[in-house]
């Protein structure tokens, strides 16, 4: 039967294809896993610095990009070797609980409040993020929240706390549970206010054709510190601690810090300012 033979040969080819090894080289490289955040990944930072590190050390870093809360959780469970996130209080807490070791400040940028281009609530000109949030709440004006325990979400909740407002469950408060870029797009579609990090904002505002602008910046509470730390090898025996430390040491070295500083988005903006103290 001609048909049968055709079927068998296709099955054979398929099996060979599936069972064949991945080309050498990708398999042989030492891989470590870094749990990090969507804001760092979407900015393009990793594509800029990881090839430099890999070229120097031969270590390939696989990035799993989630929110800060989830990234720390992945590290706690031992499913990553190193985490690079931005919620210092949460990081220090997890460090104290013994899940991580060797935390370093790595770099910073800042958060900004963005809103509709016409800035209906006239927030521009205000100095305090908490006061701005208060005005949004008093007017029941739509506000889009990440709502995903990310670093940005953690910061946002801190500002609400400072403003003395509990927005949860309010009709104007939209928790979308999405990454930063998508949250910005939703805020733009709904012409509402939101908190974002300057890196994501600069990298995406034109590409995504956001009908938004920065309405408040520069309040000290909006400082956005990124940190890096290794999963505690005493808690999870299997982690590649040596390679993870090699990565961390490189990130905070002069060379790593210069690599971060030299990363620019397509419009030439520097998105992260290195500030490690080795």
Partner 1 sequence: MQGLDAMGSIIDGFKKAFILILNLDKELLDIIFLSLRVSGSALLVSSAIGIPLAAILGLKRFHGKGLIISLLNTFMGLPPVVVGLFVYIFLSRSGPLGSLGLLYTPSAMVIAQTILALPIVVSLCSTAIVSVDPIIKQASMTLGATPFQTYLTIIKEARYGILSGIVAAFGRVMAEVGAILIVGGNIAGYTRVMTTTIALETDKGNFELAIALGIILLMLSLVINAILHSIQGPPKKSWDLSG
Among 36, 59, 79, 274, interactor with partner 1 by CB under 8 A = 79
Say if CB 210 and CB 200 are below 8 A apart: no
> Of 193-222, which residues contact partner 1 (CB under 8 A)?
204, 207-208
Region from 15-23, 113-121, 143-151, 216-224 binding partner 1, contact rule CB under 8 A: 15-23
Among 12, 51, 62, 97, interactor with partner 1 by CB under 8 A = 62
CA–CA separation, 183 and 146 (whole Å): 6
- Return the axis-axis angle of helices 254-261 and 241-252, rounded to nearest 10°: 60
Tell whether residue 177 is a contact of partner 1 (CB under 8 A): no
Tell whether residue 266 is a contact of partner 1 (CB under 8 A): no
CA–CA separation, 211 and 55 (whole Å): 40
CA–CA separation, 156 and 146 (whole Å): 9
Among 6, 12, 117, 273, interactor with partner 1 by CB under 8 A = 6
Region from 60-68, 162-170, 216-224, 244-252 binding partner 1, contact rule CB under 8 A: 60-68
For the chain, the residue count is 278
CA–CA separation, 193 and 213 (whole Å): 10
State the burial class of residue 25 (Cβ atoms within 10 Å of its Cβ: 0-12, 13-18, 19+): exposed
Positive or negative torsion for Cα 52, 53, 59, 60:
negative
Among 30, 52, 65, 126, interactor with partner 1 by CB under 8 A = 65
Region from 77-85, 111-119, 142-150, 212-220 binding partner 1, contact rule CB under 8 A: 77-85
Tell whether residue 154 is a contact of partner 1 (CB under 8 A): no
List interacting residues with partner 1 (CB under 8 A): 3, 6-7, 10, 14-15, 17-18, 26, 31, 33, 38, 42, 62-65, 76-79, 178-179, 181-182, 185, 204, 207-208, 236, 238
């Amino acid at each position: 039967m001609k048909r049968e033979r055709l079927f068998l040969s296709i099955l054979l080819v398929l099996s060979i294809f599936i069972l064949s090894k991945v080309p050498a080289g990708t398999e042989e490289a030492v891989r470590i896993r870094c749990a990090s955040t969507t804001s760092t990944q979407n900015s393009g930072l990793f594509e800029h610095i990881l090839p430099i590190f890999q070229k120097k050390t031969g270590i390939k870093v696989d990035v799993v990009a989630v929110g800060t809360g989830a990234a720390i959780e992945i590290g706690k469970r031992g499913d990553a070797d190193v985490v690079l996130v931005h919620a210092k209080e949460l990081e220090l807490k997890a460090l104290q609980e013994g899940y991580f070791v060797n935390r370093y400040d790595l770099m910073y940028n800042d958060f900004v409040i963005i809103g509709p281009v016409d800035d209906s609530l006239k927030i521009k000109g205000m100095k305090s993020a908490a006061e701005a949030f208060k005005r949004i709440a008093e007017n029941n004006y739509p506000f889009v929240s990440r709502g995903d325990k990310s670093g940005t979400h953690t910061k946002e909740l801190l500002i609400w706390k400072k403003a003395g407002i509990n927005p949860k469950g309010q009709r104007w408060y939209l928790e979308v549970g999405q990454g930063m870029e998508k949250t910005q797009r939703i805020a733009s579609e709904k012409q509402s206010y939101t908190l974002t990090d300057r890196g994501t904002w600069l990298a995406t505002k034109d590409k995504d054709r956001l009908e938004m602008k920065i309405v408040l910046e520069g309040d000290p509470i909006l400082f956005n510190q990124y940190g890096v730390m290794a999963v505690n090898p005493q808690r999870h025996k299997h982690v590649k601690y040596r390679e993870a430390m090699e990565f961390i040491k490189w990130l905070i070295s002069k060379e790593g810090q210069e690599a971060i500083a030299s990363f620019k988005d397509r419009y030439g903006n520097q998105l992260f300012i290195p500030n490690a103290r080795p």
